[in-house]
Amino acid sequence: MNKIKIAVLANGAWDYEWGIQALEDVNFLICADGGANNAALSLRMPDHVIGDLDSILPENLSRCEDSGCVIERYPCEKDETDLELALLRAEEKAGLLGEQDIWLYGATGKRIDHFLGNVALMLAYARKGYRLRVIDPEQDLWIVQGREEIKGAPGQEISLIALSEKAVVTTEGLYYPLYKGVLLQERPRGISNVFVGEKATVEVHEGWVMVVLPRA
């Protein structure tokens, strides 16, 4: 059975040429407000646009309406960010389809406060059993749950960052191996490890660990 790729596009830094390829295999695209501008630049119409709609350009809003895209407008004064609202819709879709992964684009760059908030959302969704995969032209980020095999290339860097106060981790296939090693939130010991071959295994026994995988 083919997996359905559910993605959310935020209003962060965006390389529209890269985005054309990145969004090509997305089956269902939800844009958080101005993320629809990014989608338009990459010649992809969203299936759903949600937020207070203060960032989407009027011409792009009209194009979305003409395409039959679902438009969900919220007031500017609200408790949730536009991205939180978009992720809630993605979670509903993923739950219906039995998918664990939600792909998140346009969620890095521009504003560090938004990015730090997005890391908090990654952790919140991991605790609910979902995996937010944050993708940009430079790297992939996600939170490992249990044991996972990761593909890479010899010499490619990978960083493991504890999001909990403490994490207990075992790795295989990395230059600096860990066997039930302790990564602390306050000490970035897991940054800039290196693939020995074309794959590595990371197993998190305790705590929460984010993988940052720069592109080879």
Which CATH number does 143-214 carry? 2.60.120.320
Is the pLDDT score of 2 beyond 80? no
Where in the chain are the domains? 6-137, 143-214
Q: What are 124-149's pLDDT values in tens digits? A: 999 999 999 999 999 999 999 899 99
Is the pLDDT score of 78 beyond 90? no
| Domain 6-137 CATH class label | alpha beta
pTM, two decimals, is 0.93
pLDDT at residue number 197: 96
Maximum distance among all Cα pairs of the chain, rounded to whole angstroms = 56
Distance from C-alpha of 173 to C-alpha of 195, rounded to nearest angstrom: 6
Asked if residue 69 lies in contact with residue 48, where contact means CB atoms within 8 angstroms, the answer is yes
Radius of gyration of the chain (CA): 18
Asked if residue 158 lies in contact with residue 193, where contact means CB atoms within 8 angstroms, the answer is yes
Can you spell out the DSSP letters for 11-45?
Answer: SS---HHHHHHHTTT-SEEEEETTHHHHHHHTT--
Residue type, 209: V
Q: CA dist 210 to 56, 145, 165, Å?
A: 31, 9, 13
Q: What are 139-176's pLDDT values in tens digits? A: 999 999 899 999 999 999 999 999 999 999 999 999 99
